[in-house]
Structure 1
Amino acid sequence: MKCLILAAGYATRLYPLTENFPKPLLKVQDKTILDWLVDDIDGAGLVDEYIVISNHKFARHFQEWAAGKRQKITVVDDGTSTNETRLGAVCDIRFAVDSLGLTGDMLVIAGDNVLDFSLQHFVRYADRKQTSCVMRFEEPSDERLHKCGVLEIDDSDRIMSMEEKPARPKSHWVCPPFYYYTAEDAARIPAAIADGCGTDAPGSFIAWLCRHTAVHAMEMPGHRYDIGNLQSYEEVQQQYPGIVK
């Protein structure tokens, strides 16, 4: 299985820290965000290659980081150099799939979040379900729901609907940017784009996919720390407890 890491954003809300440096390589305590993610996932023994999807501006930074890792890591440069010309997450996934000729199952994750639980739980959940899968957590804030991907689920964890940034949220279940695609479903990405699927938010493909096939959502056994601005980065530095296996 391949793990695609979405890292082509420009993190403008974290300037000046990220004006000339990629957010996924910022340190949280003694490790970069990517080190926390990759070292954890690798413990499951199911991923044979990590693919970092970068913009052109930051590709060199990721290549230098990858050179020091023991895992097999490939950096894909999507060719963009500004926030205004970015491809969007779904198009970046398609770009990596097409560039490398990927055909198998894949784990797709945002490279700018840290978790206090092991992603191995999610990888094994998806392996048991044998469908495309996401994670979910309950968001109590109505205001925050308008900025998230909101899920409706049934008693078997199957997603009945998903909507990105809904005006009228149908539940309090929120989907963070961690996804598992079966090989069959990953091959549907071009069809989804052609059908009008949104391409900026990574969850847009799942919102399209759950209307066409079974997709399941695992309840997160812990918390996610989203590093969106300077204040949240400072808070994570102070509060992050590390990963509990």
Structure 2
Amino acid sequence: MIALILAAGYATRLYPLTKDTPKPLLPVQGSRTILDLLMDRLEVLDEVTEVLIVTNARFFRAFEQWHHQYRGTKPVRILNDGTSSPEGRLGAIGDIQFAIKREQMQDDLLVLAGDNVLGFGLEGYLNYFHKVDKDCILVRTVDDIGELRSVGVAELDTEMRVLSLEEKPQAPRTNIGVFALYIYKRSTLPLFSRYLAEGGNPDAPSYFPEWLHSRQEIRAYYTEGAIDDVGTPEAYAEMRARLGELAE
């Protein structure tokens, strides 16, 4: 299994913090960055044979510098998608397809957002993926309507099969939020190019499983763990304070 970390965004809502520093490389626990904490979750997954980090031309060197200092055991490579501005970005799904095509991938694929701090390990999720042998999305209960309107929202049956999935709905059908942690079977990877060729939205990563679930079965894995996405300077300051206290 390959792990693909999406890190090609520009995080303009966090300016000036992210004007010269990519969001995943913001320190959140002392000198440890969001990306460092994400790599901690991947280091313990034996079946992940390589970690790919896809970024843009503006921040490629910053990730290369991080890589030189990284002391983990997983092989890591940084991919440059060639974009240099928010207006020219490929989008999350565009970057997934960029990595699939460039690497000629033929492995199962774990996709993660590079700006999320996870309050749980990923071992259970991978075990579930192998048990059901289907593409998987990760979900958790979200009771705040504002948050639901900013993520994907799913309807599930009793077997955790995805019945519907809508990205950023104004009128959410359920309180089941979909978060940027996906596991795709190797046989599914060629469908990314088909999705884009049919005019699919390349931006938010949940648009692809929204399209995919009506074509083949997708299962959902439920977590009660926290998933923090630092969207504002205030939220970033709050996270630094909280994670700093946990480290003491």
CA distance in 2, matches of 1:20, 1:4: 23
Which position in structure 2 is the counterpart of 1:32?
Answer: 33
The percentage of aligned residue pairs carrying the same residue is 37
Alignment of 1:89-168 (within 5 A): 89-168=92-171
More deviation in 15-24 or 36-45? 36-45
More deviation in 191-200 or 9-18? 191-200
Alignment of 1:1-245 (within 5 A): 1-30=1-30, 31-69=32-70, 70=72, 71-240=74-243
CA distance in 1, matches of 2:94, 2:118: 25
Gaps of at least 5 residues in structure 2 are none
Amino acid at match of 2:52: I
CA distance in 1, matches of 2:76, 2:35: 11
TM-score, length-scaled by structure 1: 0.95
CA distance in 2, matches of 1:112, 1:95: 19
Q: Cα deviations across residues 214-242 of structure 1 (Å, max 9, x unaligned)?
A: 11111113111111110111111122376
CA distance in 2, matches of 1:233, 1:21: 14
**8 Å CA contact retained: 2:141, 2:224:** no
CA distance in 1, matches of 2:100, 2:193: 10
More deviation in 76-85 or 143-152? 143-152
CA distance in 2, matches of 1:242, 1:53: 30
TM-score, length-scaled by structure 2: 0.94
- Alignment CA distance shift 1:45-1:242 (3 Å): farther
Q: Cα deviations across residues 54-77 of structure 1 (Å, max 9, x unaligned)?
A: 010000111111223332111110
In angstroms, what is the RMSD of aligned CA positions? 1.5
**Alignment: residue pair count:** 243
**8 Å CA contact retained: 1:150, 1:175:** yes
